[in-house]
Structure 1
Amino acid sequence: MTSIGTGYDLANSIFSPDGRNFQVEYAVKAVENGGTSIGIRCKEGVVLAVEKIITSKLLKPNANKRIATVDRHLGIVYSGMIPDGRHFVDRARDEARAWRDTFKSPIGTADLASRMGGYMQAYTLYQSVRPFGITAIVGGYDPSVDLPVDGEVGRGPSCGAGGKIPGKNFGGPGLYMIEPSGLYWGYYGAATGKGRQAAKAELEKLDLAGPGGESLTLEQAVKEAARIIYVAHDDNKDKDFELEMTWISGPEGPTKGLHQEVPRALREEAERLAKKALESDDEEEEGKDDKMEE
């Protein structure tokens, strides 16, 4: 294996002899130092959540948002370098706006992930730039019916937002995670940041891709997201944090197809249950330790 520091890590346009791009690997390390972000996709919609580490007691509570609205039906959460994330969000908003101007319809979640994946990948090609130090989770609920757009002319394509082909359904929830290399995949549950391993283990327990995922309601997903963030934070107990959560439902759901913050009452209830579950787990572990000592 090629050792780091032999000159192959001086620019991201250089591969090492064994095919590694060290600048991208360093960007992944920057992500791993950031607060945990997760996304949960269920039948009714998508929930995004992030562990915002409080770096100063002087920071204003509930300010400095880490989850951003890109379009009415789309949101992004990210872990890693916050300035990189803010630029990424600005670019995503430009892409969503350009799509509306060109196609007279809202951009699909998969289309946005594709465009932003290509944008991040471009930053791994040139010596004059560096890779993004973030991993982003994109969540959205694509409309199942056509929505009017300002400046719309004509009838549009036969299968656009919602589609017009009899017997075919379009739209629904979507969740994608985009890595610093530009790689992106579609997920039922995604996690990134410092506590990603613990969060991923908890997400896998939910069986989101199986029959259990179909029965998970959006409110249950909110409570699970809060619990998972608290579990992931357990390895970082010495630092205080704020929990920020948003959700996106279909037109019949609580958000009416819009990306919105989870209502304060529901978020506080989810946090209360998360703390209670964490305390129960601690008590069970203490009981096991006592039995082993006996």
Structure 2
Amino acid sequence: MNELAYSFSLTTFSPTGHLRQITHALAAVESGRLSVGIKCERGVILLCHKQNESPLVDYSTIRLVVNVSPHVGITYSGFSADFRNLLSLCRKANEKYFGEFQESMPVNMIARDLAAIMQEYTQQGGVRPFGCSVLLAGRSMADEHTIQDADGRKKHGYVLYQVDSSGSYYTWKATANGKGSNQAREFLERKYVEAMSVTDGIILGLSCLQEYVDGDVTSDTVEVGMVSEEDGLFHQLSKQEVEEYLKQIE
């Protein structure tokens, strides 16, 4: 039977073993705005570019790098409406966790729960997969992410997660989603250094955006957020801070 016959079915595998609606959802991500995540020695950076919009658009109303909680940040590529729904689910999960444990939900648990929700939407009738993939940055409480400091003491490390439309989730050293992401990942593979500082990570991320986005990379069209060991909080860089970093790569 022709592969196209399975294109509209969410729950039926094609003869080649594909769920075509998931393939289409991932294609929507690949045509979206370019987002980049980079894990540094002492933190994680998230960046996202605002695609070329109408000159009448007020860029200040477009929010791409935001907080899930004071300690966890998120960005995305794909459909903004789908992302708003996922962001709301993440924040509700964090509120419930905080009410029970009086602390923010660790990023590994947010990624796990978000992936479970996104996977459910790949096997139910009457729904469709989410047309976006997200990057999450924060401190993980998972044993596999425990590291040792200079004094030999164990501590929980900061990690970068990707959760895609299929419900799969992974930790990355550096990755990119959206239009031009294949070339962007190749760029990151060449330039990435595990021991890089947060400052170097921001410069690398901005350099990657400059190479592979359509349009200008300015403080108006780029959002940058970071979480680091300095205070454990996820901060969004101001336009002035982004401008200073951009000057370093001109």
- When normalised by structure 2's length, the TM-score is 0.89
Q: 1:257: which partner in 2?
A: 232
Query: Is the 2:10–2:122 Cα contact (8 Å) retained in structure 1?
Result: yes
Q: Mapping of 1:69-218 within 5 angstroms?
A: 69-142=67-140, 169-207=154-192, 212-214=193-195, 216-218=196-198
The answer as to whether partners of 1:47 and 1:221 remain within 8 angstroms in 2 is yes
Structure 2: how far apart are the matches of 1:168 and 1:128? 51
- The structure-2 alpha-carbon separation of the partners of 1:18 and 1:242, relative to structure 1 and needing over 3 Å to count, comes to same
Moved more, 93-102 or 223-232: 93-102
Judged with a 3 Å threshold, the aligned counterparts in structure 2 of structure 1 residues 222 and 239 are, in CA distance, closer, same or farther, namely closer
CA distance in 2, matches of 1:242, 1:141: 28
Measure the CA separation in 2 of the matches of 1:124 and 1:230.
Answer: 35
Report the Cα distance in structure 2 between the residues aligned to 1:105 and 1:170, rounded to whole angstroms. Answer: 17
What is the match of residue 47 of structure 1? 45
Q: Which runs of 4+ in 1 moved over 3 A?
A: 237-241
**Pairing 1:11-22 to 2, within 5 Å after superposition:** 11-22=9-20
Q: Distance in 2 between matches of 1:206 and 1:269?
A: 21
Q: How many residues align?
A: 241
Q: Cα gap change, 1:245/1:109 in structure 2, threshold over 3 Å: closer, same or farther?
A: same
Give the aligned partner of residue 222 of structure 1: 202
- Structure 1 residue 47: Cα displacement: 0.7
SS in 2 for 1:38: strand
Structure 2 CA distance, aligned partners of 1:45 and 1:238?
A: 27
How far, CA to CA, are the matches of 2:173 and 2:125 in structure 1?
35
Following superposition, the deviation at residue 82 of structure 1 comes to: 0.6
Structure 1 residues 239, 68: CA separation in 2 closer, same or farther (over 3 Å shift)? closer
Matched-pair contact (CA < 8 Å) for 1:46–1:141: no
1:264 partner letter: K
Contact 1:53 1:239 (C-alpha < 8 Å) held by counterparts = no
Aligned position for 1:59: 57
Choose 1 or 2 for highest CA Rg: 1
Query: What is the RMSD of the two structures over their aligned residues, measured on CA atoms?
Result: 2.2
Please list every run of 5 or more consecutive structure 1 residues that lacks an aligned counterpart in the other structure.
144-158, 277-294
Change (3 A) 1:257 1:239: closer
Once the two structures are TM-superposed, the CA of residue 14 in structure 1 deviates from its matched residue by 1.4
Unmatched tracts of structure 2, length 5 or more: 147-151
